[in-house]
Amino acid sequence: MFKNKNVDGSLNVCGPKIKLLRKGKSLSQRALADQMQLQGIDLNKNAIQQIESGERFVTDIEIKAFSHFFKIKADDLLGS
C-alpha cells in the first residue's frame, strides 16, 4: 500500500521548514510567492499557505526553487 501522507497527515515534509525560513527573512507569503514567480515557478500566496500547512504536495521543481532562493540544499528542506 502506498502512503502519500506524512505520519502527521501532512502532504509534505518541507512546509514547516519553508515557513521558518520565510519568517527568518521577514517575508510575507505573498512576497515569497512573488520571489518564486521571479524564478519561473507559478505559485501564489494561497499555494504558499497550503505548502506551509502541509495541505499541498510540493514538486521537485518547486523544492529546487525554494532551496535556490533560501540558499540551502534541497536535502535540508526535506529534513535529510
Rounded distance between C-alpha atoms, residue 12 and residue 55, angstroms? 8
Q: How many domains does the chain have?
A: 1
The pLDDT assigned to 79 comes to: 84
Handedness of CA 55, 49, 14, 42 (dihedral sign): positive
Asked if the structure places residue 6 within a domain, the reply is: no
The pLDDT assigned to 80 comes to: 59
Asked if the structure places residue 68 within a domain, the reply is: yes
* Cβ within 8 Å of residue 73, ≥6 positions away: 67
Name the nearest CA neighbour of 15 among 41, 47, 38, 44. 47
Domain range for residue 39?
15-72
Give the CATH number of the domain where residue 44 resides.
1.10.260
The pLDDT assigned to 42 comes to: 97
pLDDT per residue over 30-80, tens digit each? 999 999 999 999 999 999 999 999 999 999 999 999 999 999 999 999 985
pTM of the model: 0.92
